């Protein structure tokens, strides 16, 4: 079916009254449709709902396991053996509160960045919220605007719409009145208006959104890695817990309540319950911090993704330079009259209802000639690099003009290009005004164009661009400037910002992916890049294993933004770019990007760091359970002991370490990085603790011996866990040293204060056994240092 056929079908289903086609709906007609429910009521979700947040934090596999054990302990043991349950409640509450705060931040920013289409009602055009559109509304669209509902084209002025995000077809589609307009497509050139024929959940884009919510998570190695680890932990827990239950309840034939308490004490620490919480909290706090800087993170793992980026592709206009420009000089060519040229430029400016930054500068500099009447216009397109218009001049004569890139409109040997190159080398932007004899709809309209004048424009550099580029270079992230402008001019702008490297004209790039990738590795600045080439360049970089971020604000950046690993759009950019980007800089400040990178590095680096703490505990807990089953002895700990150890050596330190600054670039292979430390560390801690326990069992006899044995084993396990914490906390800063010291002092207070001794059932008996426990812990700490260094050498992980 052709587009005209589809449009005719839509039109027949929804006849278009003549007055509606011109003036739009009246206020009464809008009210009538609202009363009938014919409104665009699709909720735009920027984040999970409150119910989803509560459900995700409360109803987890491990919360269910620990919840059952907690209820049991409330009935059979003192309250101090049930402390682990209160910790889980506090953790869950913290997770819910932080995610809710992040949701509020996201929702408020989403309202700021929400698309506000222009709707014509009662003959007056006004911006409205997307949700306020009703059936049969007349919606005006121009370059960069996204169609938010389905409709049929009513007015078209050189209207070209890109439907590639919906159909995969790369070439823009020229629209005429009667043609179908699909929601989710966007305008690349021209303008017009269409009537809404399907709104709300009936619209095409809304149907797609039902299948995949806007808040769907992009690939996150961190989340995937943690899920993998938790899956293995579950497999290990089941047999170890069953064996422990049988040993404590049947084989030893101990007091029932004491057996239950020690069984639960063996199972609970196997669960790395705080790891998922800390990951969620770290992401949520990252969103809140970035939200304060007017940075909208549309997909949470985008924070993580940008931290892994090694190549950032920058669009010059709107990213390195500010949107506005100024006309600095007009150079008539071939004896053209200066006054006449100014009239032509003024008329060209008036002919385009939606001027881009270049044409806006011309409009500001040259007023419209009232006696000139536009008879036909050719909107600017990024693909062809020029716009044009035909006029009936005041004296009755007709003329046709093009305004665009000199190196596109002129032959390679034209002498005018030499002057253009000299201006470009100064970082100036140059447009050529040329008179043509062909019709504007002729595919070769530019052939034989007669140069009439050069319009010299000066671009305004962003004051923060140089510092941001320097930051990326210092962080080993390679910037690539990709622009549709003249390569020499773009290179000069980049040079002013301190960015060195080779400048390449993209028209000379190899078309094959491998050749393009090699050229991209060698070059730094690329000019005369078409929208499709931007997309191809992102794909070529990715084919070489690079993680690519793409920034942009124009409609010509949409396809590349969508294909990049991380798309970053400016808040002032087109609705299409903001719709496909994972991160939107609402304050239009390129300088916000380092903050996003820093947040991602903080999250990934710190979660990798603290995950080792949690999983060392899981490994030694499983190993202790196995050893207890094999030796058929009482489990050495009560839940209160492990709650104390977990709080001092994991819980409190992990919270601070997870939120600390971390500038180290994210490294791949999260699971391997964590497990290669956790497994040997946990095995060593488990063996050393069980050795102390067995020695204490042979040393202590009589009444109260089990409490003394437990205290000695607890001391060894605490000291080894503290050494693991001391290693994980490196490199040391004053606050990290203070953190580790404070945790050690906390345990010392428990051992000294009588009522705390009684509360936690910890009392060191005698002198020999406690010092032996310390000695075993010291030997284990030295072995841990040697073992982890050997693991680093023997099992290196790709950086």
Mean pLDDT of 183-208: 80
Query: Would you say domain 295-320+462-588 falls under CATH 2.60.40.1180?
Result: no
User: What is the reported pLDDT for 445?
Assistant: 84
The Cβ of residue 203 has, within 10 Å, a number of other Cβ atoms equal to 24
CA distance 597 to 304: 8
Quote the tokens at residue 571.
Answer: 């808040």
Read off the pLDDT band of 111 (50, 70, 90).
low
Do 368 and 345 contact (CB within 8 A), yes or no? Answer: no
Specify whether the CB–CB gap between 552 and 483 falls below 8 A: no
Closest among 182, 153, 154 to 168, alpha carbons compared: 182
Position 457 pLDDT exceeds 70 = yes
- Is the model's pLDDT at 724 over the cut of 90? yes
Mean predicted confidence (pLDDT) in 733-741: 94
Confidence band for 750, pLDDT divided at 50, 70 and 90: very high
* Whole-angstrom distance, CA of residue 304 vs CA of residue 666: 8
Q: What is the DSSP string of 644-662?
A: HHHIIIIIHHHHHHHTS--
* Nearest one of 443, 355, 334 to 403, comparing CA atoms: 355
* Distance between CA atoms of residues 387 and 355, nearest Å: 10
Quote the pLDDT of residue 689. 95
Q: Which two tokens stand for residue 669?
A: 């292979």
Distance, in Å, from the CA atom of 240 to the CA atom of 219, rounded to the nearest integer, reads 33
Better-predicted residue by pLDDT, 528 or 572: 528
Angle (CA) 205-209-210 rounded to 5° is 120
Structure tokens at 673: 């990085």
Whether 315 sits among the annotated catalytic residues: the reply is yes
Mean per-residue pLDDT over the chain, rounded = 82
Residue 765's pLDDT band (cuts 50, 70, 90):
confident
- How far apart CA 649 and CA 523 sit, in angstroms, is 50
Predicted pLDDT of residue 770: 93
Residue 98 has pLDDT above 90, yes or no: no
3-state DSSP assignment of residue 295: strand
The CATH superfamily assigned to 325-458 is Calcium-transporting ATPase, cytoplasmic domain N (3.40.1110.10)
Nearest Cα neighbor of 324 from 160, 491, 460, 422 is 460
585 and 294 Cβ atoms separated by less than 8 Å? yes
Model pLDDT for residues 606-660, shown as the tens digit of each residue:
888 888 998 999 899 989 988 988 888 888 888 889 889 999 999 899 889 888 8
Average pLDDT over residues 276-300: 79
Segment 672-695 shows an average pLDDT of 92
Residue 208 has pLDDT above 70, yes or no: no
- pLDDT of residue 17 exceeding 60, the answer is no
10 has pLDDT over 50? no
45 pLDDT above the threshold of 70 = no
Query: Which candidate in 315, 352, 536, 553 is catalytic?
Result: 315
Residue pLDDT, tens place only, 549-584? 998 877 678 788 888 888 888 877 777 777 778 888
Contact yes or no for 297/583 (Cβ under 8 A): yes
β-strands 186-198, 138-141 pairing? antiparallel
- Arithmetic mean of pLDDT, 12-16: 41
Please tell me the predicted confidence (pLDDT) of residue 12. 36
Q: Please say whether the beta carbons of 483 and 316 come within 8 A.
A: yes
* Averaged pLDDT for residues 387-412: 86
Do 356 and 143 meet the contact criterion of CB atoms below 8 Å apart? yes
pTM to 2 decimals?
Answer: 0.69
Residue 219: band (very low, low, confident or very high) from pLDDT cuts 50, 70, 90 = low
Residue indicated by tokens 């995610």: 99
pLDDT band, very low/low/confident/very high, at 191 (cuts 50, 70, 90) = confident
Of 203-207, 552-556, 596-600, the range with the lowest mean pLDDT is: 203-207
For the chain, the structural domain boundaries read 3-37+115-211, 51-102+217-287+597-794, 295-320+462-588, 325-458
Q: Tens of pLDDT along 299-349?
A: 666 777 777 888 999 887 767 877 677 888 898 988 888 888 898 898 888
Residue of 621, 617, 693, 618 lying closest to 243 (CA atoms): 621
Q: Per CATH, which fold does 51-102+217-287+597-794 belong to?
A: Calcium-transporting ATPase, transmembrane domain (1.20.1110)
Residue with the larger pLDDT of the pair 602 and 140:
140
When mean pLDDT is compared across 200-204, 419-423, 438-442, 731-735, the lowest value belongs to: 200-204
How far is the C-alpha of 428 from the C-alpha of 408, rounded, in Å? 17
Has residue 678 got a pLDDT over 70?
Answer: yes
**Distance linking the first and last C-alpha atoms of the chain:** 52
Contact 447, 414 (CB under 8 A): no
CA distance 494 to 310: 19
Residues 353-364 as b or e (16 or more Cβ within 10 Å = b): ebbbbbbbbbbe
Q: Which of 432-436, 440-444, 672-676, 717-721 is modeled with the greatest confidence?
A: 717-721
- 254 pLDDT band, cuts 50/70/90, is low
The dotted CATH code for 3-37+115-211 is: 2.70.150.10
Q: Longest C-alpha distance within the chain, in Å?
A: 119
Q: Using a pLDDT cut of 70, give the percent of the chain over it.
A: 89
pLDDT for position 777 = 95
- Nearest CA to 44 out of 223, 203, 280 is that of 203
Q: Which residues pair with 316 in a beta bridge?
A: none
250 secondary structure, DSSP code: I
Alpha helices in 247-332 (DSSP H): 256-267, 273-291, 301-308
Q: What are phi and psi of 108, to 5 degrees?
A: -70, -40
Q: Which two tokens stand for residue 779?
A: 């030997």
Cβ burial of 368 (10 Å; 0-12, 13-18, 19+) is: middle
Give percent of the chain above pLDDT 90.
Answer: 18
Query: Measuring CA to CA, which residue among 109, 131, 133, 107 is closest to residue 119?
Result: 133
């Amino acid at each position: 079916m052709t587009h005209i056929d589809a449009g005719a079908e839509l039109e027949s289903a929804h006849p278009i009254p003549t007055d509606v086609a011109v003036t739009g709906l009246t206020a009464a007609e809008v009210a009538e449709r609202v009363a009938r429910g014919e409104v665009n009521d699709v909720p735009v979700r920027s984040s999970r709902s409150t119910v989803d947040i509560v459900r995700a934090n409360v109803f987890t596999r491990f919360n269910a396991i620990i919840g059952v054990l907690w209820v049991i302990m409330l009935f059979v043991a003192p309250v101090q053996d049930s402390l682990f349950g209160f910790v889980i409640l506090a953790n869950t509450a913290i997770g819910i509160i932080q995610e809710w705060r992040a949701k509020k931040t996201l929702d408020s920013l989403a309202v700021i960045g929400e698309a506000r289409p222009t709707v014509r009602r009662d003959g007056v055009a006004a911006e409205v919220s997307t949700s306020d559109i009703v059936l049969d509304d007349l919606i005006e669209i121009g370059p960069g605007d996204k169609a938010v509902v389905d409709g049929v084209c009513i007015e078209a002025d050189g209207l070209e719409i890109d439907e590639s995000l919906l159909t995969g077809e790369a070439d823009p589609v020229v629209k005429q009145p009667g043609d179908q307009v699909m929601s989710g497509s966007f305008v690349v050139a021209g303008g017009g208006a269409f009537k809404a024929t399907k709104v709300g959940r009936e619209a095409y884009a809304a149907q797609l959104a039902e299948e995949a919510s806007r808040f769907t998570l992009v690939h996150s190695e961190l989340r995937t890695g943690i899920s993998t680890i938790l899956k293995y932990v579950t497999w290990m827990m089941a047999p170890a817990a069953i064996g422990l239950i049988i040993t404590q309840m049947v084989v030893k034939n101990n007091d029932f309540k004491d057996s239950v308490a020690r069984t639960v004490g063996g199972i609970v620490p196997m669960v790395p319950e705080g790891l998922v919480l800390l990951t969620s909290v770290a992401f949520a706090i990252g969103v809140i911090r970035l939200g304060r800087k007017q940075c909208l993170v549309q997909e949470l793992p985008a924070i993580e993704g940008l931290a892994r980026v090694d190549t950032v592709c920058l669009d010059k206009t709107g990213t390195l330079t500010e949107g506005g420009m100024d006309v600095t000089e007009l150079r008539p060519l071939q004896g053209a009259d200066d006054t006449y040229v100014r009239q032509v430029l003024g008329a060209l400016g008036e002919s385009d209802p939606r001027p881009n930054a270049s044409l806006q500068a011309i409009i500001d500099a040259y007023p419209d000639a009232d006696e000139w009447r536009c008879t036909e216009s050719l909107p600017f397109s990024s693909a062809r690099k020029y716009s044009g218009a035909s006029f009936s001049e005041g004296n009755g004569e007709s003329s046709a003009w093009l305004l665009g890139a000199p190196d596109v409109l002129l032959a390679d040997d034209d002498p005018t290009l030499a002057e253009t190159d000299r201006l470009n080398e100064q970082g100036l932007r140059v447009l050529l005004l040329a008179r043509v004899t062909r019709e504007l709809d002729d595919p070769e309209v530019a052939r034989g164009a007669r140069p009439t004048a050069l319009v010299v424009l000066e671009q305004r550099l962003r004051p923060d661009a140089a510092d941001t580029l320097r930051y990326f270079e210092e962080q080993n992230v390679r910037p690539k400037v990709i622009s549709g402008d003249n390569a020499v001019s773009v290179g000069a702008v980049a040079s002013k910002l301190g960015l060195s490297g080779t400048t390449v004209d993209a028209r000379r790039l190899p078309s094959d992916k491998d050749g393009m990738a090699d050229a991209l590795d060698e070059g730094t600045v690329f000019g005369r890049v078409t929208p499709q080439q931007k997309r191809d360049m992102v794909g070529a970089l990715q084919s070489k294993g690079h993680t690519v971020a793409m920034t942009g604000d124009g409609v010509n950046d949409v396809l590349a933004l969508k294909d990049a690993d991380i798309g970053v759009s400016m808040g002032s950019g087109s609705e299409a770019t903001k719709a496909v980007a994972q991160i939107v800089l609402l304050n239009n400040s390129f300088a916000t990007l380092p903050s996003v990178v820093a947040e991602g590095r903080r999250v990934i680096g710190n979660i990798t760091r603290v995950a080792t703490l949690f999983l060392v505990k899981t490994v030694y807990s499983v190993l202790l359970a196995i050893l207890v089953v094999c030796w058929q002895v009482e489990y050495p700990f009560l839940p209160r002991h492990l709650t104390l150890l977990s709080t001092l050596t994991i819980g409190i330190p992990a919270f601070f370490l997870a939120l600390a600054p971390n500038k180290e670039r994210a490294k791949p292979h999260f699971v391997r990085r964590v497990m290669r430390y956790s497994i040997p560390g946990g095995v060593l801690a488990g063996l050393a603790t069980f050795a102390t326990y067995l020695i204490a069992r042979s040393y202590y006899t009589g009444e109260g011996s089990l409490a003394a044995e437990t205290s000695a084993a607890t001391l060894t396990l605490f000291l080894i866990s503290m050494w693991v914490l001391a290693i994980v906390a490196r490199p040391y800063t004053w606050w990290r040293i203070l953190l580790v010291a404070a945790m050690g002092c906390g345990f010392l207070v428990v051992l000294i204060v009588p009522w705390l001794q009684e509360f936690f059932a910890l009392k060191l008996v005698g002198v020999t056994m406690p010092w032996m426990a310390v000695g075993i812990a010291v030997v284990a700490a030295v072995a841990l240092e040697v073992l982890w260094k050997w693991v680093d050498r023997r099992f290196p992980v790709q950086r």
